[in-house]
Amino acid sequence: MLDVLTRNWWAMAIRGIAAIIFGVLAFIWPGITLLALASLFGAYALVDGVFAIIAAAQRAGREHRWAMLLVEGIVGIAAGIITFLLPGLTAIGLVLLIAAWAIVTGFLEIVTAVRMRQVIHGEWLMVLLGALSIFFGLIIAFFPVLGAVALSWTIGSYAIAFGVLMLFLAFRLRDVHQQLHPMGGAPYIQPTP
């Protein structure tokens, strides 16, 4: 696990940069951040529903699962229409989904840090990332009806803080990778006398 994390330190750095960019955009366009997320979900649900109905029509009479596909398609189209008619309700649903995601992600980051504490120095950064994610998730879960601007700023602040910490962790992992692999990619094996 250590080798995978240290070898791919650059992917963590890219995640950090992307989080910072997303956070800055949430500050620049706070009013449309949540509505854009809701609209993307609505478009996805609508398209997915249409394709599920097409698949159901093609399988009708030949397979037992065609009725489930039809129901899935109808539900998808209904979710898409509701999203476009009531984007605020969808935004609240997405906010609660984001809260759940942040809490679960934070918990998993802390578990990973505890498992890696014997192997990597600076695991406290991963614990801090996890705690930040859980804290963010709990705030959003308890106050889902905050104004779109305040919520966008909260999401933006979280994304920027997460991105900065992710960059710190990425560069720590890069240092560990260079210590473990001083010759580049392969592990350094000291010659025997």
The total number of residues shown for the chain amounts to 193
Q: What is the pLDDT of residue 164?
A: 92
Q: What is the pLDDT of residue 31?
A: 64
Q: How many whole angstroms separate alpha carbon 180 and alpha carbon 177?
A: 5
Report which of 135, 61, 144, 62 is spatially closest to residue 96, judged by C-alpha positions: 144
Residues of the chain with pLDDT under 50: 187-189
Q: How many whole angstroms separate alpha carbon 20 and alpha carbon 26?
A: 10
Q: What is the pLDDT of residue 188?
A: 44
Q: How many whole angstroms separate alpha carbon 144 and alpha carbon 152?
A: 12
HEC per residue, the chain: CHHHHHHCHHHHHHHHHHHHHHHHHHHHCHHHHHHHHHHHHHHHHHHHHHHHHHHHHHHCCCCCCHHHHHHHHHHHHHHHHHHHHCHHHHHHHHHHHHHHHHHHHHHHHHHHHHHHCCCCCCHHHHHHHHHHHHHHHHHHHHCCCCCHHHHHHHHHHHHHHHHHHHHHHHHHHHHHHHHHCCCCCCCCCCCCC
Q: What is the pLDDT of residue 135?
A: 92
Q: What is the pLDDT of residue 83?
A: 82
pLDDT tens per residue, range 65-95:
677 778 888 988 988 898 888 887 777 777 7
Report which of 37, 20, 21, 19 is spatially closest to residue 148, judged by C-alpha positions: 37
Measured at the CA of 9, the angle between CA 6 and CA 14, to 5 degrees, comes to 165
Rounded to two decimals, the pTM is 0.49
Q: What is the pLDDT of residue 160?
A: 92
How many C-beta atoms surround the C-beta of residue 20 within 10 A?
A: 19
Helix (H) or strand (E) holding 104: helix 87-116
How many C-beta atoms surround the C-beta of residue 46 within 10 A?
A: 18
The three-class DSSP label of residue 94 is helix
Q: Where are the domains of the chain?
A: 2-180
